[in-house]
Structure 1
Amino acid sequence: MGSTVFDSFLFRDMFGTPAMRDVFSDQSFVDSIVRTEVALAAAQARAGVIPQESADVIAASCDSSRLDRERLRRDTENVGYPVLPIVTQLAGQCGDAGGFLHWGATTQDVMDTAVMLQCANGLGLIAAELDRLRARLRELATAHADTVTAGRTHLQHALPITFGYRVAVWLSALDRHADRLAAARERDLMVQFGGAAGTLASLGREGLRVRAELAAELGLRDPEITWHVARDGLVEIVTLLASIGGSVGKIGTDVALLCSTEFGELAEPFVPGRGASSTMPQKRNPISSELVVAAAKLLRDKASAMLDAMVQDFERATGPWHVEWAVVPEAFLLLSSSLAQAAHLIAGLRVDEDRMRANLGLTGGLVMAEAVMMALAPVLGRQQAHELVYAACGRVIDNGGDLAAELRAHPVVVASLGEDGIDRLCDPASYLGSAGAMTRSVVSRGP
C-alpha cells in the first residue's frame, strides 16, 4: 500500500505518470544495475582485462528476473547499498565466470551509472512531453494572435495585448527550456567508472580504455575525469526539471486566475465530475492548473536539496549522495505529471473572447491612457501630457464614465487630437505595439 503521493493508488497519477514510474521503478533500477555490470564485463573483455569467454558467459547468464527479491531487500538493508547483494546473486548465476563480475568497480560506479541510464530514459520522456505541450501552445497562440485582451501588471489593467501574445510568452520559455534540455542530455549523461577512489588504479594502464568502452556500450558520455563527488551533472538535470516546472507553473497560475468567476476569460476542459465540490454543485475547479502549480512548488525543493547535496567530502561523501536517491526520481515524476496535466489543459482550453473584450471595458477605457498620453506628448510635452491624462483618469475613477468622453470635454485634447483621433486612440485594438510581430516570431520557430 502506498504511503506517499508518488506510490499512492489515489494520487500517483496526479503526481507522476505510469511511463515515468516505470523508468524509476525498483525493477528498472535493478535492471540498470545488471545492464551496467554486463556492459562492464563486455568493455573489459574488449580491453583485454578479463577473458572474452567469461564476458560471454556473464552476458548470457545475468538475469535480473531470477534475483531473489526478498533476499535482495534484506541484504540491501544490511549492507546499505544494493550493488553487492545484486552482484553476489549474479555471480551465482554465472558460475566460474562470476569471479570476473564487477572487476575493478565500486558500488557508486554502478549505482551512478544505473541512475544515468534511468535519467537518459526519463529525459527522453520529458523531451517528448515538452514537445507535445509546446505544439499545443503554438496552436493556441496562432489561433488567438488577434484576440485582444487586457494586459495586467500588479493584477491591474495595464495595456491591451492579445491572448496569443500571452500564450507566446509562455511558449517562448518552454522553447528555451527545450534547448537547455538538449544541451543537458549531451553534457550531463555521463558514465561513472573510477574504482575505489576514482583513479582506476586497479586496472593499471587500461582504466581509461575500459571507461571509454563502457560509455560506448551504454550510450553515455565518457567524462574527462571521475565525477563521483562532483555532482554538477545531476544537479543541472534536476534544477532544469525544476525550472521547466516553474515555467509550467506560471502557465497554471495565469490560467487559474483567468478561470476565476470575476475574470471568466478561460475555462479548463470539462467532463462531468471534473473539479467538482462535495458541497457546492456549481463548482468546476481548475484542477490541472492547481496540480502544475503544486508540482512547481515541490520541484523547487528538489532543486534545493540537490544543491545542498553538492557539498561532499573528499573522494566519497558521507550522506549527501543518499539524498539524491530520493530526490532524482521524485523530480522526474513531478515534472512528468506537470507536463501531462498542462498538455491536457491547453488542448481543451476554452477561451471566451467576448468576455475578454468585455473585461477590457471594465475601467471605462482607462487601459488606453498611455496611448493618449503618448499621442499628446509631441504637442504638449511629455510631462504636461502625463499630468493632463492623469487628471482625466482620476475623474473617471472618481465619477464614473469613460476616458474618451472625459477627453472630448477637454478643449486642449480635442484641439490636439480631434474627436476622431480620440476615438481611435481609445480603441484597444489600435495600441498593440509589436505584440503581433513577436507572437509570429515565436510560433514560427517550430518544435
Structure 2
Amino acid sequence: MFDMYSSAITRGWFSADAIAMWDDRATIKAWIEAEIALARAQGELGMIPADTHERMAAAVSVDKFDMDKMAADVSAILHPLVPFLRQFEAMCPDDVAGYLHWGITTQNIFDTGAALKLKRTHEKLVADLDHCVSVLASDARRYASTIQAGRTHGQHAVPVTFGYRLAGWALELRRQRERLVDASADALVGHFGGAAGTFGAMGGRGREVQQRASEILGLRPVRVPARSNFDGMANYMSALGVLAGLIEKMAVEIAFLQRTEIAEVHEKFEYGLVGSSTMAQKRNPARSNNIIGVCRLLKARIPILLDSLVRLNDADAATSNVADVTVPEVAVMGASLAEKLALVLSGLAVDEEKMLENFSLTNGMIMSEGIMMALAPAIGRGHAHHVLYDAVSQSLDHGQSFKTAILSHPALADRDGTLQLADLVEPQRYVREIVDWIEEQMVSLIE
C-alpha cells in the first residue's frame, strides 16, 4: 500500500523528524505519558495510591508493546484503544493495573496524545520559522537596494528592490508564526473530562485532576472538556493552512524567478543533482516545486478538518476519526514545509546583474509613474498620465525612443530643457523610502 511518508519516491518531500513525531511509536509513547500523568495527578490528590504512576512507569515502555498484535486486535474488536490498555495492564502488577485509565475515556487519551505530539511538532515548526525569518531579514538588508522589476499581472510595473520582496516574506512569516503561537493555546491542551466531558467518574475532583495532569504534561487544561469540541485544534490546523499559502507563494515566486528567460535567482545547485532523465541541461527549482506540492496537499486537508467541527451530541466517532487521521498529516506537512523552506532560503543564489538587465528591458518605461508624478504638479496628474500613455504608445507601436516620445509631446513643448529626464529615470531615487523601511523593519528580526 502506498504511504507518502515512507515511500522511497516521496518521503524526501517531508521532514524525517516530523514523521518520527507522529509514527506509531510516538503515538504509543504519548498515550503512555498521558496515562501516567493521569495516575500521578490522581495519586497526588489521594484518589489512588500515591506510588501508582511510578510503578506504571517502571513497568511499561514503548518497546514492550507488540504492535502487530495491537493492529490485529484493533481490527478484531473494532476499538482503537482497548488493545493498548490490555497490553499496558499486562505489563503492570495487578494492584497497579486496576488504576489504569481511572475515570476517563478513549478520546481523552487520543486527544491528549495528539496534543503532546503536536506540542513537539509546534516547537520544531516555530524554530524553523524563526530561522527562515532570520535568513530573510538578513538577506533583505543585504539586497535592500538591489533594483528589481516590480511585476503586476505578469508585466513590468515599477521599480522595487529584491530586499523589499524578501522583507515582505519575512514579515508575513513572522506574523503567521505569532498566529500559530496564539492558536497553540487552545490546541496544546490536556483532555481528561471522561465519558461525556462532565468529570462524572472523578468523584468531584475532575477539574483538579485535569489541571494537574495537564501541567505534568506541559499542556494547558482544555477550557471546555466536552468531547464534541474541536475548535481549538481546528483553529491551529487552519493557521497551518494559511502558513502553507504563504510558503507556496514564496516557492512559486522563486520558481518563476528561476525561469531560463528570467534567471534572477536560483536554488542552490550541487554537482550530482539531476533535472531531467533526457535533458542534461535542466537545473530545475526542484525543492521549490516539492514545497508547492506539499502546500497544496496540506491546504486540501483543511476543509476536511473543518468538517470535523460538526460532531453529533457529546461524541461522534464518524467525525473524530477523520481528525485522528488528518491532524497528523497536516502537522507533519506543516513542519516539513518550514524545514524545507529554510533549506531553500539558506542556499538561494541571487543574480543582481540579471535583475538589472531585466529591469532595463523596457528602456525606461518602467519609470513611467515616477515621471508622471514629476510632471503632475505642473500639468496635473491626469494630463501627466495622458502624456506618458501617448509616449509609451509612440515607443512601442512606432519605434520611437521613450525619451524622445516624452520630450516631443505637444503638452511639454514649452518645457524643453527644464525636464530633467535623466534624473527621473534613475530607479534608486524611486525606491529610497522603501530602502529605509526595510532597515527599520528588519533589524529586529535578525537572530
Q: Please give the range of the TM-score, normalised by the shorter of the 2 chains.
A: over 0.9
Match of 1:58, as an amino acid? M
Instruction: Summarize the Cα distance change of 1:227–1:244 in structure 2 as closer, same or farther, 3 Å threshold.
Output: farther
Report if aligned partners of 1:147, 1:164 keep a CA contact under 8 Å in 2.
yes
Residue of structure 2 equivalent to 1:93:
91
1:302 Cα deviation from its structure 2 partner: 1.7
Residue of structure 1 equivalent to 2:119:
120
1:170 Cα deviation from its structure 2 partner: 1.0
1:318 is aligned to 2:303: no
- Tell me the alpha carbon deviations over residues 31-51 of structure 1, each in whole angstroms, 9 at most, x when there is no partner: 111111111111111111112
Report if aligned partners of 2:183, 2:235 keep a CA contact under 8 Å in 1.
yes
Distance 1:259 1:301 in 2: 27
- Tell me the alpha carbon deviations over residues 263-305 of structure 1, each in whole angstroms, 9 at most, x when there is no partner: 1111111012324111111110101111111122111112111
Residue of structure 2 equivalent to 1:70:
68
Match of 2:53, as an amino acid? A
Distance 2:227 2:4 in 1: 30
| Higher deviation after alignment, 324-333 or 413-422 | 413-422
In the alignment, structure 1 segments of 5+ residues that lack a partner are none
Q: CA RMSD, aligned part only?
A: 1.7
What is the correspondence of 1:160-309 to structure 2 with a 5 Å cutoff?
160-309=159-308
Match of 2:103, as an amino acid? G
Structure 1 runs, 4 residues or longer, greater than 6 Å off? none
Residue of structure 1 equivalent to 2:17:
19
Instruction: Summarize the Cα distance change of 1:406–1:129 in structure 2 as closer, same or farther, 3 Å threshold.
Output: same
- Tell me the alpha carbon deviations over residues 154-208 of structure 1, each in whole angstroms, 9 at most, x when there is no partner: 0101100110001111111001012112222333211011111110111121111
Report if aligned partners of 1:371, 1:425 keep a CA contact under 8 Å in 2.
yes
Match of 2:67, as an amino acid? R
1:387 is aligned to 2:382: no
Match of 2:70, as an amino acid? L
Distance 2:430 2:386 in 1: 20
1:401 Cα deviation from its structure 2 partner: 4.4
Distance 2:186 2:148 in 1: 42
Structure-2-length-normalised TM-score: 0.95
Report if aligned partners of 2:198, 2:226 keep a CA contact under 8 Å in 1.
no
Distance 1:441 1:426 in 2: 26
| Higher deviation after alignment, 160-169 or 42-51 | 42-51
Structure-1-length-normalised TM-score: 0.95
Question: SS at 1:203's partner residue?
Answer: coil
Match of 2:371, as an amino acid? V
Question: SS at 2:278's partner residue?
Answer: coil
Distance 2:400 2:346 in 1: 39
1:227 Cα deviation from its structure 2 partner: 4.1
Distance 2:418 2:330 in 1: 59
- Tell me the alpha carbon deviations over residues 239-275 of structure 1, each in whole angstroms, 9 at most, x when there is no partner: 1122112111111111111111121111111012324
In the alignment, structure 2 segments of 5+ residues that lack a partner are none
Question: SS at 2:272's partner residue?
Answer: coil
Instruction: Summarize the Cα distance change of 1:55–1:339 in structure 2 as closer, same or farther, 3 Å threshold.
Output: closer
Instruction: Summarize the Cα distance change of 1:410–1:108 in structure 2 as closer, same or farther, 3 Å threshold.
Output: same
Distance 2:56 2:341 in 1: 45
Residue of structure 1 equivalent to 2:35:
37
- Tell me the alpha carbon deviations over residues 332-358 of structure 1, each in whole angstroms, 9 at most, x when there is no partner: 222233222222221121111111111
Distance 2:191 2:257 in 1: 48
Question: SS at 2:186's partner residue?
Answer: helix
Question: SS at 2:220's partner residue?
Answer: coil
Residue of structure 2 equivalent to 1:406:
405
Instruction: Summarize the Cα distance change of 1:91–1:430 in structure 2 as closer, same or farther, 3 Å threshold.
Output: same
